[in-house]
Amino acid sequence: MSIAVFLESYQGKMAKASLETLKAATVMAEKLGISVFGIIIDDTVDTLVQEAGKFGVATVKSSAGVTIYHPTMYARIITNATKDASAVFLPATVWGNEIAPMVAVKLDATPVSDIIGIEDVGTFKRSIHGNKIHTTVKAEGNLVVTVRSGVFDLPGEVGGSASNEPISTETVDSDNFIKLAEVLVAQGDRPELTEADIVVSGGRGTGGPENFAQHIEPLADAMGAAVGASRAVVDAGWRPHGEQVGQTGKFVSPKVYVAVGISGAIQHLAGMSTADVIVAINTDSEAPIFKVADYGVVGDLNDVVPKLVEAIKQVKAA
């Protein structure tokens, strides 16, 4: 028996969420005394296989020559590669969330989605009602597990090497008519919100969309951070929905979360309160965000943020 991990990659680059998922799978495998093997699907796989080996994976089943994502094909490759595994772990990314249910149906396995912890073999921690409640669930049978981004640490580098076991690329049924017609890579070089180590978010207190360009984005860029937003800001049309942090947006768990002009509604706190360090900048000293802030700056963002950007640039230049 062994545990399979889908190591999601795009154009030869391993997703950070894949390595966190590897860490989660390794935690469970160690409790069972069994091994973990990786599954890689990409155009060229050699570098990815090496990277997996570096993080302690001994065997990778790889499907090379795949130039475009196709959910049904990915699900089939993963299912075929994991017939003998006791559990399959996938990152809870858009792709992972799309593929995992198909794999679970094909294997008639027990799905456990979006885990945030592993207590024992088959016993997982999850969060429900938009992070307001944490639960412990016990799952039986063969498992298909998805792992929330930003919760598990990256696995340690052990400097090993993985053996590569090519698996055939399945052709897609002609009765399954879907194709990914186009991929547009996001503009700019800010990190992706759910993968970023630092997130700078703005709320209604910023005063208007123009202040995102003037204050939030420069602060994010000075810190090498992703940009987030509160629901009020997204609903007002100031920022795109993809930036919304909270119960009906994205759950983030960065090392540092900077909340600027965000009061801290319960549904926003649900999306970010697991950050390691929380910085809040707000004029209202009674704002609920200060209850969770490690650094609660009471002040006007129009004064504080430019000075902060300046100070960060100085420190970084030194």
Query: What part of residues 1-30 is at the interface with other proteins (CB under 8 A)?
Result: 10, 15
Decide the pairing of beta strands 143-147 and 110-115: parallel
Strand, helix or coil for residue 294: coil
Q: Which of 35, 58, 101, 117 lies at the binding interface for other proteins (CB under 8 A)?
A: 101
Cα 298 versus chain centre, distance: 31
Distance CA 293, CA 291 (A): 6
Give the closest residue to 87 by CA, choosing from 140, 40, 163, 150. 140
Q: Which of 83, 161, 208, 316 lies at the binding interface for other proteins (CB under 8 A)?
A: 316
User: Are the C-beta atoms of 246 and 226 separated by less than 8 Å?
Assistant: no
From 37-45, 59-67, 155-163, 309-317, give the range in contact with other proteins by CB under 8 A. Answer: 309-317
Of 55-84, binders to other proteins (CB under 8 A) are 69, 71-72, 75
Q: Which of 126, 169, 170, 207 lies at the binding interface for other proteins (CB under 8 A)?
A: 126
Q: Is 244 a binder of other proteins (CB under 8 A)?
A: yes
Q: Is 286 a binder of other proteins (CB under 8 A)?
A: no
From 35-43, 53-61, 152-160, 185-193, give the range in contact with other proteins by CB under 8 A. Answer: 185-193
Q: Is 317 a binder of other proteins (CB under 8 A)?
A: no
Beta bridge partners of 38: 5, 60
From 21-29, 153-161, 203-211, 269-277, give the range in contact with other proteins by CB under 8 A. Answer: 269-277
From 59-67, 159-167, 209-217, 266-274, give the range in contact with other proteins by CB under 8 A. Answer: 266-274
Question: Which pair of structure tokens corresponds to residue 111?
Answer: 């799905």
First to last CA, the chain: 53
At its nearest, how many Å lie between other proteins and the CB of residue 61? 21
Q: Is 213 a binder of other proteins (CB under 8 A)?
A: no
Give the C-alpha distances (Å, rounded to integers) separating 188 from 185, 217, 219.
9, 12, 15
159 vs 174, beta carbon nearer other proteins: 174
Distance CA 105, CA 318 (A): 55
